[in-house]
Amino acid sequence: MPKIIAGKTEIECRLIIFDKNGTLVDQERFLLSLAKARRQSLCTMVGSQVDDLWEKAVGTDLKHGRIDHSGPLATAPQREEVLIAASAVYQCGHSWSEAKKIAIEAYEHADESLRPSYGCVLLEGIVDVLKRLKSNELKLAIATTDSHKRTEESLKFLGVAHLFDVIVGGDDVKNSKPAPDTVLEACRRVGCLPGDSVVVGDSLNDIIMGKNAKVKKCIGVLTGFTSKEELQQIIDVIIESVTELRTEG
């Protein structure tokens, strides 16, 4: 079985399951780009009165460039955030049925305006480490709360989609992180047992997801919003970034 090295820990595994935002992609830049596009789209359709309502509801302050790292924008799958956006539209005088329709359409328009990268920028050194891992007969997967389509198109634009054997988005499963569904679906599609897999992520939800799925190891990275002290409460293996993952030979 292939072996990876994270810090001083050697782990035999067949599959590495990566979170996307904060682990492979610059989370702050991605979320700010997404937030600006969604706010603009909603304001165009509803009017400026929805602005503050939506920002408070999803957890962002675009005037000061701030994101609530534990809020819906940063942690919820899109299908949940759309309903939160709909509640803001509803408060502007629309019926609930109309509000949902407007929110869905606004988010679709926002995605269109961000194509093809949707604001995604890979963290430094990610391409080289993914190629190195892939060349050592390891299977690679993505487990994200982001939508499957946006994730796949972003990674294609960034030139790394071909390095992943499977991509599982928040809309591919019934229950998102920290439920184990995303990891279990990745394992199912690759044909690998959770016990032969590892999860690599930057957030507590990533690590809890991996533990709930009973993977072999969970590896925390410090390139996202979660501090080392927070990660240490629930995890044994912590590295600065994905670029510190190594293989034998």
Summarize the confidence of residues 105-125 as an average pLDDT. 91
Q: What is the pLDDT of residues 63-94, one digit of tens each?
A: 999 999 889 999 899 999 999 999 999 999 99
Is residue 3's pLDDT more than 90?
Answer: yes
Summarize the confidence of residues 5-21 as an average pLDDT. 95
Summarize the confidence of residues 32-47 as an average pLDDT. 96
Is residue 246's pLDDT more than 70?
Answer: yes
pLDDT bracket for residue 41 (50, 70, 90): very high
Q: What is the pLDDT of residues 130-186, one digit of tens each?
A: 999 999 889 999 999 999 999 999 999 999 999 999 999 999 999 999 999 999 999
Residue 201 neighbours by CB distance under 10 Å:
31
At a CB cut-off of 8 Å and minimum separation 6, what does 18 contact? 24, 140, 141, 142, 143, 200, 201, 242
pLDDT bracket for residue 23 (50, 70, 90): very high
Task: Give the pLDDT of residue 248.
Answer: 75
Task: Give the pLDDT of residue 45.
Answer: 97
pTM of the model: 0.89
Is residue 249's pLDDT more than 70?
Answer: no
> Three-state SS string across the chain, please?
CCEEEECCEEEECCEEEECCECCCECHHHHHHHHHHHHHHHHHHHHCCCHHHHHHHHHCEECCCCEECCCCHHHHCCHHHHHHHHHHHHHCCCCCHHHHHHHHHHHHHHHHHHHCCCCCCCECCCHHHHHHHHHCCCCEEEEECCCCHHHHHHHHHHCCCHHHCCEEECHHHCCCCCCCCHHHHHHHHHHCCCHHHEEEEECCHHHHHHHHHHCCCEEEEECCCCCCHHHHHCCCCEEECCHHHEEECC
Q: Rounded to an integer, what distance in angstroms lies between the CA atom of residue 120 and that of residue 26?
A: 7
Q: What is the pLDDT of residues 116-141, one digit of tens each?
A: 788 899 999 999 999 999 998 899 99
Mean pLDDT of the chain: 95
Token digits of residue 116: 């093809």
Cis peptide upstream of residue 116 (ω within 30 degrees of 0): yes
Is residue 236's pLDDT more than 90?
Answer: no
